[in-house]
Amino acid sequence: MKRMICIVMFAASVHAETPEQFFDLANQAYQQGMFAEAIEKYEMILQSGLVSGELYYNLGNAYYKAGNIGKAILNYERARRMLPNDDDVLHNLQLVNLMIADRIEPLPRVFLWDWWDGITSWFSMNGITWTMYGVFLLTLVAGAAFMLAPTYALRRAAFIGVMVGVILFVGMLSVFLGKLGDLQRSDIAIVTADVATLKNSPDPKSTDAFVLHSGVKVFITDKVKGWLKVRLADGKVAWIEQNTCEVI
Amino acid sequence: MRGVHILFLLCLWGAVSHAQEPSLEASVDKNPVAIDDQFTLSFVLTNAGMSGGKNLKLPNLEKFHVMMGPSTSTSMQIINGAVSSSVTYSYVLQPKEIGTFTIGSASIDIGNKTYTSAPITIEVVKGSPQANQPKGRQGVSGDLDAQLSENLFLRASVDKTRALQGEQIILTFKLYTRVAVQNYNLNKTPTMTGFWSEDIEMPKQVQLTTETVNGKQYQVGVIKRMALFPTQPGTLEIGPMEITTLVTVRDRRSWDPFDAFFSDPFGRQIEYVVKSEPLRIKVDPLPVGAPVSFKGAVGRFTLNVKADRLEAKTNEPISVKVTIAGTGNIKVLESPAIEFPKDFEQYTPKVSDAINRREGKINGSKTFEYILIPRYPGKKVIKPVEFSYFDLGKREYITLRSDEIAFIIEQGAPAAAPFVAATPRTDVQLLSQDVRFIKLSKPAFRRRGEFLHTSPVFVALTLLPLAGIAGVFVYTRRRQEEMRDVVGYRTRQAIKVAKRGLKAAEALLKEILSGKDGSSEKKLQFYAEVAKALWKYVGDKFNIQQADLSIETAVNELHKRAVDGEIAASLRSVLELCEMARFAPTSLSLDTLQKTYDDANKIIVDLERTLKKS
C-alpha cells in the first residue's frame, strides 16, 4: 500500500508538468501534516528556477512546522521581498522572529530611513514598475499635448502636467531603483545552523567571539574563503562559517 | 574538649619530664560478632606525647561496612606523678559476610617514628534476630536482658525492598514473643522521609499467630501495618520503631518449658523496650516518556467527569465533578488540567477523598468538584479531560480521556445585581498563537532574477509611446517650419478651400469638357454650382444671411475689409456671368466655362490669402 502510494506520488510528480500543479501537491502534503514532503516539493519548484512570494511563504510555513526556525525565517524574508505588503507574511515573520534564542537589540536608526522603508515597502516590485509606467505615459501625453496645443492656455496646462509628471517619475524611479537594489542585495543572511560559533578571525582555531542560534539576521561585510565577516543588528562584528548561514 | 585535654597535658609536660614509650593497640568490643550486628573497632594510642599521632593508616576493612567513624576521644591519667595519656580512634563496623576475618595492622606516625598495631582476628557468626541493645530498660538485669532479647523482639518487614516511585509498599511491624506480653505502647513511630504513608487499619485486638524462627516457636502479633508510597527515587530509609512492652517474667534461668511447670506461676511484670531494625528501600524512578498529563499517579485508576446538568441558564451554577478512583497513591493525586469554556466563571475546586485502608491495598477515590457559573448564553464545551497514570501491572503509562461535555446555556434572568449597568466586557483572548495558514491561491511564478521592467513586452510598451512622442515632435517641428513659409502655406490652404467649394462644379466641367454630355442643361448646372459655391463661401466668410446676399452686399463687404478692388471686380464679373448664363446658356462656349471656373477658383484663393493675412 505504502509502495503504491509511493508509485502514485512518483507518477504524480512526473506528470505534474506545470509548477502550479506541483505547488498544489506540496500544499496538499502540508495540509496532511507531511511537512518534510511539502518542503521537498516546494524546494523542487525553487530548484527549477521559478520563484514567487507565495511559494516562499508556504515553504517558510512548512519549515516552521517542521521545527526549523532558521530556514523558516529565511524563506519568510524572501517572501517579504516579493510581497512586501502581505499581512500573512509579516505576521508569520514577526511570530517566528520571537522564537529566536538570541535577543539582539538593534541600533537606533535615523527616522528618515524608517520613512524610506515605509515608502519602498508600500509598493511591490511589479506595482512600482506599473505605477512608474503610468506616470511615464501620462507625462508623454502631457508632452504631446504641449506640442500640439492650439492655444496658449492649453499649452501652459500641458507644460505644468509635464513638470509634475517628470517630478513624480524621478521620485518613483528612486523608489524603484532602491527596491531593485534591495531585491538584489546579497549581503543579508540568516543563520540556519542550530548553533553557530562566531570567531574573531576567519580561522577555526581562532578565539570564539560569541554564539548565535538559528534565525538571527546578519549583514555580510566581507568574505574570505569559507568565512563571512558579519555584523549583527546591534553592531557586533565577527566571522561566521559560510555553511552555517544562508543569504536571503 | 580534646583541645582542653591537650592543653592540660601541655601544662603538666614540664613538670613530669619522663614518659612511657608510646604504643598503638587495636581492639574490638565483641568477638565473635553476629552477621547483622554492629561492633566497634578501636585503636588506642597511648603516651603519644605532646605532638600526638599523625597520619593514621587504617587496615583493609573491605569485609565490613563502616557505619560510623572515626570518632576520637582522649583521656589522661596521672598515677603517682606518672602521666599516661591515650587517644582512641573508634569505628563502628558491620560485617558483610560470615566467616573468620583478620583485621590487619593500623599504623600511625609519632614524631619520626611509625607505630603499628597488632592484627586482630574476628569471627563473624550467623546471627539470631535480636533487638538492638534495648535502651531505657527498667529493672532488667543483664542476664534477664539477654534472655528477653532472645525471646521478645520487634521486626519490621516490607513486601518488597525495591519499588518504583509511587508504587505501594506494605510495611509490617511484627512483635515476636515467647513471653507473655501484657501490653505495649508505641514510643516512637518510624521516621520515613521520602514516603507518603498511610496506616492500614488493624483490628483492635492483636491477632496472634505462631511462627518458627531459628527453630524456636514464637507468638507473633502484627502490631502495625502501613502502606508506603515513595515520592522520590533513590535509597530511602525507614527508621526504627520503638515500643515499650509490659512483660511478665519469672525468675528462672532456663526457659525450658519443663522448668516452667515448676516455676512460680505469678512472675513479676517489667517494662521492656524493643526496637526494630531500620530498613532500606531502593526506589527506582519511573520510566521516561511520561505523557504531559502525568502528575505522579501510580497504580490503576478510572476517570469520571460528570456535570450535574447539561442545560442551564446564565448565572446558574453548574457543578462538575472529576472523580479518580482506583488503587494506588490516591492521596497525592492532583487535579487533572481541565479546559473550561473561557467565559465560565470558575472557583477553586472542592477536593474530597474516600480512602479504604482496610484491605492490603490502599484504594478509594478522590473527587474534585468545580463550581462553574456560565455568564454568556450559547453552546459551551468542556474539552475531554486527560488523566495519566503509570500502570504497575502493564509497566506503562496509560492516559484516560473523558468524553467532551457540551452545555447549552440559555439566557437567564439578568444577573440579580442592580448595580451592574453594562455587561462587563473583556478583551478578546488570544488562545494560542501559530503561524497563519499557507496560501493556496495560484502563485505568480517568475524566473529567478527576472523582472517586469526587463521583459521584452514591457520594453516594447515603453518604446512605443516614446516613438509616438517622437513622431509628434517631428510632426510639430515640420508644421512649425511650414508656418514660417507663410505665403506658401496660405496659398496651399486657400487652394484647398477653393477646391473643396468648387468640387461639384469641377466634376461637371470635366464631364462637359470630355464631351460626354455637352448639353446646355449641364452647362446651366455648372454655372449654378459655381454661383452656389461662391455665394456659400462669401456668406460663410462674411457671416451674411442667405436672404441678404446680393452682388452689391458681397462687393461692399469686400471693400469694407479693404480687399483688393481687382478681386471684388472679378467676383462681380463671375457672379454676373453666372446669372447671365442661366438665361442664355447656349451662348457660352467651352472656353468660357473653363475661364469661369478658373476665375472662381482664383477669387476664393485670393480671398483666402488676403483675409487670413489680416
Residue range B91-120, pLDDT digits in tens:
888 888 888 888 888 888 877 788 888 888
The stretch B201-207 carries a mean pLDDT of 75
B348-405: per-residue pLDDT in tens? 788 888 888 766 677 888 888 888 888 778 888 888 888 999 988 888 898 888 888 8
Q: And the C-alpha cell for B518?
A: 455637352
Identify how many contiguous H helices and E strands chain A contains and give both numbers. 9, 8
Q: pLDDT confidence of B603, banded at 50, 70, 90?
A: confident
Within 8 A of B470 by CB-CB distance, chain A residues are: none
The stretch B565-585 carries a mean pLDDT of 81
CB contact (8 A) between residue A51 and residue B468: no
CB-facing half-sphere around the CA of B363: CA atoms within 13 A: 11
Q: pLDDT confidence of B604, banded at 50, 70, 90?
A: confident
Looking at residue B6, what is its pLDDT? Answer: 46
The answer to whether residue A163 scores a pLDDT higher than 90 is: yes
- What's the CA gap between B178 and B474, in Å, rounded? 137
Asked if residues A220 and A229 have their Cβ atoms less than 8 Å apart, the reply is yes
- Identify the residue whose cell numbers are 517631428: B474
CB contact (8 A) between residue B445 and residue A51: yes
Looking at residue B485, what is its pLDDT? Answer: 67
The answer to whether residue B216 scores a pLDDT higher than 60 is: yes
Length of chain B counted residue by residue = 614
Residue in chain B lying closest to A21 (CA): B442
Q: And the C-alpha cell for A166?
A: 517628470
Asked if residues B373 and B147 have their Cβ atoms less than 8 Å apart, the reply is no
Share of chain B above pLDDT 90, in %: 1
Q: Please tell me whether residue B530 adopts helix, strand or coil conformation.
A: helix
Q: Please tell me whether residue B556 adopts helix, strand or coil conformation.
A: helix
The more confidently predicted of residues B603 and B431 is: B603
Q: What is the CA radius of gyration of chain A?
A: 24
The stretch B330-357 carries a mean pLDDT of 81
Nearest to B308 by CA among B398, B407, B388: B407
Neighbours of A5 (CB within 10 A): 9
CB contact (8 A) between residue A54 and residue B443: yes
Looking at residue A167, what is its pLDDT? Answer: 95
Looking at residue B129, what is its pLDDT? Answer: 43
Looking at residue B586, what is its pLDDT? Answer: 62
CB contact (8 A) between residue B466 and residue A140: yes
Looking at residue B250, what is its pLDDT? Answer: 63
Asked if residues A59 and A27 have their Cβ atoms less than 8 Å apart, the reply is no
Q: pLDDT confidence of A226, banded at 50, 70, 90?
A: confident
Neighbours of B122 (CB within 10 A): 20
Looking at residue B149, what is its pLDDT? Answer: 78
Looking at residue B488, what is its pLDDT? Answer: 65
Asked if residues B229 and B355 have their Cβ atoms less than 8 Å apart, the reply is no
Q: Please tell me whether residue B244 adopts helix, strand or coil conformation.
A: strand
B490-524: per-residue pLDDT in tens? 666 667 777 777 888 888 888 877 776 667 777 78
Tell me the sheet residues that pair with B107. Answer: B57, B116
- What's the CA gap between B509 and B503, in Å, rounded? 10
Residue in chain A lying closest to B459 (CA): A133
Within 8 A of A19 by CB-CB distance, chain B residues are: 445
CB contact (8 A) between residue A96 and residue B445: no
Looking at residue B554, what is its pLDDT? Answer: 80
The answer to whether residue A135 scores a pLDDT higher than 90 is: yes
**Does A130 touch chain B if contact means CB atoms closer than 8 Å?**
yes
Looking at residue B11, what is its pLDDT? Answer: 43
CB contact (8 A) between residue B439 and residue A20: no
Average pLDDT, chain B: 77
Residue in chain B lying closest to A86 (CA): B439
Residue type, position B93, single letter? L
Q: Please tell me whether residue A33 adopts helix, strand or coil conformation.
A: coil
Q: And the C-alpha cell for A185?
A: 542585495
Within 8 A of B457 by CB-CB distance, chain A residues are: none
Minimal Cβ distance to A52: which of B434, B438, B446: B446
Burial class (CB in 10 A: 0-12, 13-18, 19+), B248: middle
CB contact (8 A) between residue B468 and residue A140: yes
Chain B, 404 to 433: residues with Cβ < 8 Å from chain A are 433
Minimal Cβ distance to A125: which of B443, B451, B472: B451
Å between B427 CA and nearest CA of chain A: 20
Å between A209 CA and nearest CA of chain B: 33
Q: How far is CA A40 from CA A24, A29, B6, B291, in A?
A: 13, 10, 84, 31
- What's the CA gap between A241 and A191, in Å, rounded? 10
Q: pLDDT confidence of A160, banded at 50, 70, 90?
A: very high
The answer to whether residue B614 scores a pLDDT higher than 60 is: no
The answer to whether residue B588 scores a pLDDT higher than 50 is: yes
Q: Considering only the C-alpha atoms of chain A, give the largest distance between any 2 of them, rounded to a whole number of Å.
A: 83
The stretch B314-318 carries a mean pLDDT of 82
The more confidently predicted of residues B244 and B612 is: B244
**Does A55 touch chain B if contact means CB atoms closer than 8 Å?**
yes
- Helix A69-82 with A53-65: angle, nearest 10 deg: 160
The answer to whether residue A16 scores a pLDDT higher than 70 is: no
CA dihedral B435, B440, B441, B447 (to 10 degrees): 90
Burial class (CB in 10 A: 0-12, 13-18, 19+), B264: exposed
CB contact (8 A) between residue B445 and residue A55: yes
Q: pLDDT confidence of A141, banded at 50, 70, 90?
A: very high
A169-182: per-residue pLDDT in tens? 999 999 899 888 88
Burial class (CB in 10 A: 0-12, 13-18, 19+), B533: buried
Q: And the C-alpha cell for B247?
A: 512483660
CB contact (8 A) between residue B444 and residue A62: no
Q: And the C-alpha cell for B361?
A: 491495598
